[in-house]
Amino acid sequence: MMSINQPNILVIDDEASICKGCSLILGEHNYSVSSRTKGKDGLREALAGQYDIVLLDIRLPDIDGMKILASLREKKPQTQVIVMTGYSTVQNAVEAMKGGAFDYLAKPFTEDEIVLAVTKAIEDKRLRDENILLRKQLFERFDFNNIVGEDPAILEIFERIKRVAATDSTVLITGESGTGKELFAGAIHVQSSRAANRYVTLDCSTLSSSLLESELFGHVKGAFTDATHDKKGIFNVANHGTLFLDELSNLNLEIQSKLLRVMESGEYKPVGDSHTVKTDVRIIAATNRDLAKLVAEGSFREDLYYRLNVFPIRIPPLRERKEDIPRLAYHFLRLFCKETGKRIEGFSDDALVLLMNHSWPGNVRQLRNTVERLVIMTDHGFLNRDILTPHIQIDGRSDPSAPNKVPETWEELKSVKKHLLENIFGQMEEKFLVKALTECQGNITHAAQKVGMQRSNFSALLKRHGLSADNL
């Protein structure tokens, strides 16, 4: 029987007793097992069904097991094959491994051996499926179709990215916070010939210098007190791929010089190691600081600056590409409506004017956050100037209620969101109450009538905010 949640296993063996034994043992471990005693029949079933693992006897009377293996590798690459073989055919096992089998079991095998082999194969498959999914997500996120912009400056960046992606050149992306540096960095990777290899991001502003060094270059056991075993560094993990060094102005001079050495020689030494290791990693760096100024001040190495600045890309702040604001606003509106299932028609003209004239110190990220908030606070219709005004005035980096610390976990993020919403909405509610009451000279009945609320609800809200007609 096929099952969605339990891993599905197919046993192909001409000995019915093996089929039965495998079914019993694996069934007890919550796998869903089917079996076939004829090779051809087994192959047909393996190709037609959705099996995670095929346990395959390599010596079958009607068809060569190696042929089944080859056919599965070609047509069902996601299915893991574990080959079963008698003692006399260990040589076949070696061949089978070369032919792409995940593992082999020598008959007779014990219950533990088969369970272990299957568990390993399932785990390996899960990791591979996950990788495929992650790569797909990476491609979607950094696809040009998901990067909005028709301003000439942005179109030129697209053009430059297409050109540089094809090369191995180092790229330096500069721009204010929230302009899209990370997005464009990812776009370079997915358009490059390294796209099938790893894309690793290192945020240089979050780690201490000593951690950064071992993070980048790895360390050997005993390199320092906590180094209980060898650790691979990013230059190893990202080999043949791309390394995105975010906010690299935070690297200290010592690491800067080590970084320059890898970039020039393609070699580095793990911390505590006396041997050099070769690496081939393309570097994309980003910063919102003025590196030339840091060079002048002596906190950034001039030679590294020139090495990084081979191909600079400057992303203009949002206020320098106002024409893109409505496009971006609609892009985010569609995104959040899809996420929440809401049907908000769009922005009114005066709302768009307001958005375009705002200075957006937090750039595209701030616009995105603002639209997200608007979608939360609105259920349908058009977003007009009145709805927008409070959000635009309150928003911004100057907002004291906005925490500067970026949340570490989903839970934290949710709580920050809740906090922010309560805070911002709370401020607005208070202003709303004060305005209504002031305009009605402190008369609660009139104020409630004016704003279209029940008197009881209006006074309850006043109470919640610690307001009364007297203390205005």
Q: What is the contact surface with ligand ATP in residues (CB under 6 A)? A: 147-149, 175, 177-183, 288, 328, 331, 364-365, 368
Q: Which does 148 bind (CB under 5 to 8 A by kind): Mg ion, ligand ATP, none?
A: ligand ATP
Cβ proximity to ligand ATP: between 55 and 392 the closer is 392
Q: Which one of 13-21, 24-32, 179-187, 207-215 is the stretch in contact with Mg ion (CB under 5 A)?
A: 179-187
Q: Which does 179 bind (CB under 5 to 8 A by kind): ligand ATP, Mg ion, none?
A: ligand ATP
- Give every CB contact of residue 260 below 8 A, 6+ residues apart in sequence: 301, 303, 304, 307
Handedness of CA 372, 378, 384, 389 (dihedral sign): negative
Smallest separation, CB 362 to ligand ATP (Å) = 8
Smallest separation, CB 68 to ligand ATP (Å) = 46
Q: Which does 180 bind (CB under 5 to 8 A by kind): ligand ATP, Mg ion, none?
A: ligand ATP
Measured CA to CA in angstroms, residue 155 lies from 168, 180, 189, 208, 360 at distances of 22, 14, 18, 37, 21
- What is the C-alpha to C-alpha distance for residues 46 and 35, in angstroms, rounded to an integer? 10
Cβ proximity to ligand ATP: between 181 and 219 the closer is 181
462 in Cβ contact with 468 (< 8 Å): yes
Q: Which does 288 bind (CB under 5 to 8 A by kind): ligand ATP, Mg ion, none?
A: ligand ATP
Burial class (CB in 10 A: 0-12, 13-18, 19+), 353: middle
Start-to-end CA span in the chain (Å) = 73
Smallest separation, CB 184 to ligand ATP (Å) = 7
Cβ proximity to ligand ATP: between 49 and 361 the closer is 361
Smallest separation, CB 92 to ligand ATP (Å) = 52
Kindly state the tokens that stand for 191. Answer: 């358009």
Amino acid letter at 298?
G
Burial class (CB in 10 A: 0-12, 13-18, 19+), 195: middle
Q: Which one of 63-71, 84-92, 176-184, 415-423 is the stretch in contact with Mg ion (CB under 5 A)?
A: 176-184
Q: Does 57 contact Mg ion by CB under 5 A?
A: no
Candidate list 13, 57, 103, 182; residue touching Mg ion; CB under 5 A: 182
Could you say which residues in the range 140-169 bind Mg ion, by CB under 5 A? none
Cβ proximity to ligand ATP: between 121 and 325 the closer is 325
Smallest separation, CB 182 to Mg ion (Å) = 4
Smallest separation, CB 153 to ligand ATP (Å) = 11
Cα torsion through 231, 234, 236, 241, rounded to 10 = 160
Rounded (5°) CA angle 148-152-158: 55
- Give every CB contact of residue 419 below 8 A, 6+ residues apart in sequence: 401, 403
- What is the C-alpha to C-alpha distance for residues 33 and 10, in angstroms, rounded to an integer? 6
435 in Cβ contact with 401 (< 8 Å): no
Site string for Mg ion, 202-221 (x = CB under 5 A): --------------------
Smallest separation, CB 457 to ligand ATP (Å) = 38
Smallest separation, CB 321 to ligand ATP (Å) = 9
Cβ proximity to ligand ATP: between 331 and 358 the closer is 331
190 in Cβ contact with 138 (< 8 Å): yes
Q: Which does 364 bind (CB under 5 to 8 A by kind): ligand ATP, Mg ion, none?
A: ligand ATP
Cβ proximity to ligand ATP: between 71 and 288 the closer is 288
- What is the C-alpha to C-alpha distance for residues 70 and 357, in angstroms, rounded to an integer? 63
Kindly state the tokens that stand for 276. Answer: 């050099």
Smallest separation, CB 244 to ligand ATP (Å) = 10
Cβ proximity to ligand ATP: between 176 and 215 the closer is 176
Which residue's beta carbon is nearest to the bound ligand ATP? 180
| DSSP one-letter code for 231 | B
210: left (phi over 0), alpha (psi -120 to 50) or beta: alpha
Smallest separation, CB 215 to ligand ATP (Å) = 18
- What is the C-alpha to C-alpha distance for residues 243 and 142, in angstroms, rounded to an integer? 15
Tell me the sheet residues that pair with 343: 380
Cβ proximity to ligand ATP: between 335 and 469 the closer is 335
Q: Which does 178 bind (CB under 5 to 8 A by kind): Mg ion, ligand ATP, none?
A: ligand ATP
Binding site for Mg ion (CB under 5 A): 182
